[in-house]
Structure 1
């Protein structure tokens, strides 16, 4: 990775005008710059100044210039900014989600001594270090603060891990202390003092599995999580190098940038060699001391502030490619990739390996709505429209898989007679079964499609050409195994998974009750069949006849309609259900009875919602509505 200069956000002044803090919002839309004149200036992601606000002293009688800002941090929802001050206070300002919204103080946290540094963890609490050596947690909801631990020396730096579940504190006596706020960390990483450095650790970073420490001895020491020295970058004999003042870690945890005088140094983790390597330093003449560093949360940019008020923005990119003139794929680290559409203003998707593997072979598939990528040990799939990413263990290196994206909730991966289901947003394989039939028309998956209060996940697939297997994916229990006397060419579960429709080569349509495993033929000569969305209504065509089962529990009494052409789809939208028909070059629609389709969804839960005692309803109107639906159904 190299740092490439992009632009100057703020120009340097002719006098001391120190940038005391930089912070990128987690949603990547805002950059906050805190200046020595007690102002917080807000920029957009392109570096354009959009807003600013002034901070306030803890004691108004002491005067507006009685303090300085010592650090700033964005909230996890990007709507608040915490400002640490030297007059023993931390203010939390609500800045809103849009530009120009009114700024207001929503939390005040008085402290027993001046605040020296601050971070805001992804898990929620604000962490601040004090002059008296205490490290305290500030809770937004309760507006209370508590001491996590205390030492006898001033806190000079704080650094969070990539998950936001723990942090390191650097103290002026050289101690580096580790603390976790949750219990999901590695048990081998004990809390407490982990490193004793020779000088105060003003430049402190916690990349994945390592600890970076720098200070006035012009050395950058790299420790493992047990405190053992793994690498020492020594610049003490370089007359042009000065003390290290600040550090920042990339969001992926595989790069660290250190700031000194007129220079920033970048260190990358080589995943193949399992060691840290230094790239060529970035010299910035007349920049003077680097006082603040911040890495954009998507990993694409680094900003640095100087003693004279200058703020520079650098691009941190390994490589950039374009996929079929539709998507820009930017590698911002070995294990992190940005995928952004070229024809829209959408921000794109951040693809990151949770296991730290190097991402390769990124492909856009499924009508440009899905993404597939790999590392040496994992497979990554993503729904680009919903911004859902999954990473599952995957040891197959032959890359002969076939991917099917017909289901909006799950990716079907077929390879060497094995079908694997990966639910978007879940990092565990949902199910793996053996089957030789990878046709999506011969596989049906239903995952909680009716907003059920309990998990309802079912799979139907072919064991052989004449045998269907239905599996409960929650319990991994086989619900049913249905045998047939003819080859099956289509099957589909309804959204609740209680009924299964399948068609054989003789164009017979059969219905299976998955609970009782009863099977019956309900229609013949079928050329088209489909369940209607958000209902248990089925539609099938045979010749010029369209059959509609408004009540699938009475399959012998369908509603029949004469139509022209071939039905290609059934669409339910805007309180209207229509069958789309094609007759030669003409396309037209046939409207179904939406009242009957809607009635199918009427159940006890719906009635309970209507007569909820917390709300007031017109009981007569409810009774009339139910009576009207029953009338339509009986008709």
Structure 2
């Protein structure tokens, strides 16, 4: 939610500040001091804790509903974070994980640890599967096990003479945590599960099991590859020093380092897929006799065709490269530019098919000789193809007329 700031007051009010109009609105009001606030990873809901131990949740998806109390904590909650769970802690040396309805998922009691003092602040990583709690001279880390989906406590990070942690923030791409302390010191911690170098001068930084940062060392270009389904990234490859392909158990992530567009599609393959990157707007995946076309930035397959001819000489893809002329059908429809996405390919050695990936309509062109090259023009309304006899043919898709050049 850009241009909006949610904040809590000592008098118990929780307000939202609209930066465009410079006016505040009250979301809800209590008579208890607001001690901590945070939002969920999607930014669609906020949770606030109060001095009386109450925990309230407000959802922007349902603005007509009032804020609801989901739980009452056993002490004054000062440390609050929201990832895949809502984590709350205070001065009783206990960290409690709640679900969105206030049900207790897990409790970690550290009262038997003499070095554990009051929890003052907390932060969650962007994927929501790791949390850090600030304590006296130490940082307590909790991670979610991807197999059992339960929270696990990791060995705390001891920092001598740090004293109390008063502020904490996790970088949006997940690779750094900033920690502010009582004495005015700001420390920056590097977060990394593992870091590897990839051929061609690329650095792969895995900040969680479902997120990897790909950075080109020479130009410092980077893209954050993150599975929106929380799947573990098992393999990452880079093609043509530009295109990123990351595999999970049941999805494929495709990214473009130049446009920073990322796609994630459901996929069940065996690793023998062939990737074609001849088009800057989409990736072509060939697997088991079928070609799947994935447009960068879209989380679903644009279209699928069945062909065994996958070389760039006999497969031509055009995605909104040039707008249609007004005479080429209706270029404008309802005030919006008509989508122009077409692919030309071979059904067999002597048959061409032109498929509209938007309307799913297709045109079939039969020839009497083997075709060894074809290409659509930018508007995808003309097809140029050549046969083995070195004859060049031009086909107009609008009038469905073929002429030999």
Note the alpha carbon deviations across 1:14-42, whole angstroms, 9 max, x for none.
xxxxxxxxxxxxxxxxxxxxxxxxxxxxx
Measure, in 1, the Cα distance between the counterparts of 2:56 and 2:198: 45
The secondary structure found in structure 2 opposite 1:281 is strand
Note the alpha carbon deviations across 1:437-457, whole angstroms, 9 max, x for none.
111222111111125622111
Matches within 5 A, 1:469-548: 469-478=353-362, 480-522=363-405
Distance 1:441 1:272, change over 3 A: farther
Measure, in 2, the Cα distance between the counterparts of 1:352 and 1:289: 33
Q: TM-score, normalised by structure 1?
A: 0.60
Measure, in 2, the Cα distance between the counterparts of 1:224 and 1:394: 30
Matches within 5 A, 1:547-566: none
Distance 1:190 1:359, change over 3 A: farther
In structure 2, the residue matched to 1:348 is 222
Note the alpha carbon deviations across 1:505-539, whole angstroms, 9 max, x for none.
211111111122222211xxxxxxxxxxxxxxxxx
2:53 corresponds to 1:174: yes
The secondary structure found in structure 2 opposite 1:440 is coil
Contact 2:290 2:308 in 1 (8 A): yes
Contact 2:376 2:384 in 1 (8 A): yes
In structure 2, the residue matched to 1:124 is 3
Measure, in 2, the Cα distance between the counterparts of 1:241 and 1:447: 59
Give the CA deviation at 1:360.
Answer: 2.0
Distance 1:236 1:147, change over 3 A: same
Note the alpha carbon deviations across 1:388-422, whole angstroms, 9 max, x for none.
111111122x1100001010101000001010011
In structure 2, the residue matched to 1:390 is 263
Contact 2:54 2:72 in 1 (8 A): yes
Measure, in 2, the Cα distance between the counterparts of 1:489 and 1:203: 67
Distance 1:427 1:199, change over 3 A: same
Measure, in 1, the Cα distance between the counterparts of 2:61 and 2:372: 52
Note the alpha carbon deviations across 1:169-201, whole angstroms, 9 max, x for none.
1111222222222369xxxx9962222211122
2:294 corresponds to 1:415: no
In structure 1, the residue matched to 2:120 is 245
Unaligned 5+ segments in structure 1 are: 1-121, 523-635
Counting matched residue pairs gives 392
Measure, in 1, the Cα distance between the counterparts of 2:323 and 2:159: 56
Contact 1:123 1:165 in 2 (8 A): no
In structure 2, the residue matched to 1:207 is 83
Identify the match of residue 136 of structure 2 among 261, 275, 283: 261
Give the CA deviation at 1:260.
Answer: 1.2
In structure 2, the residue matched to 1:197 is 73
Identify the match of residue 314 of structure 2 among 432, 436, 442: 442
Measure, in 1, the Cα distance between the counterparts of 2:375 and 2:54: 63
In structure 2, the residue matched to 1:380 is 253
Matches within 5 A, 1:361-372: 361-365=235-239, 367-372=240-245
Contact 1:337 1:351 in 2 (8 A): yes
2:23 corresponds to 1:134: no
Contact 2:47 2:56 in 1 (8 A): yes
Measure, in 1, the Cα distance between the counterparts of 2:133 and 2:313: 55
Matches within 5 A, 1:8-407: 122-182=1-61, 192-208=68-84, 210-324=85-199, 326-344=201-219, 346-365=220-239, 367-396=240-269, 398-407=270-279
Give the CA deviation at 1:472.
Answer: 1.5
Measure, in 1, the Cα distance between the counterparts of 2:188 and 2:120: 18
Larger RCO, structures 1/2 (Cα 8 Å, 6+ apart): 1
Runs of 4+ deviating beyond 4 Å: none
Q: Which moved more, 1:269-278 or 1:299-308?
A: 269-278
In structure 2, the residue matched to 1:629 is none
Give the CA deviation at 1:347.
Answer: 4.3
Measure, in 1, the Cα distance between the counterparts of 2:404 and 2:200: 50
Give the CA deviation at 1:123.
Answer: 3.6
Measure, in 2, the Cα distance between the counterparts of 1:191 and 1:131: 18
Contact 1:482 1:517 in 2 (8 A): no
Q: TM-score, normalised by structure 2?
A: 0.93
The secondary structure found in structure 1 opposite 2:365 is strand
Contact 1:380 1:390 in 2 (8 A): yes
Note the alpha carbon deviations across 1:275-318, whole angstroms, 9 max, x for none.
21121100112211111111112211112111111222211100
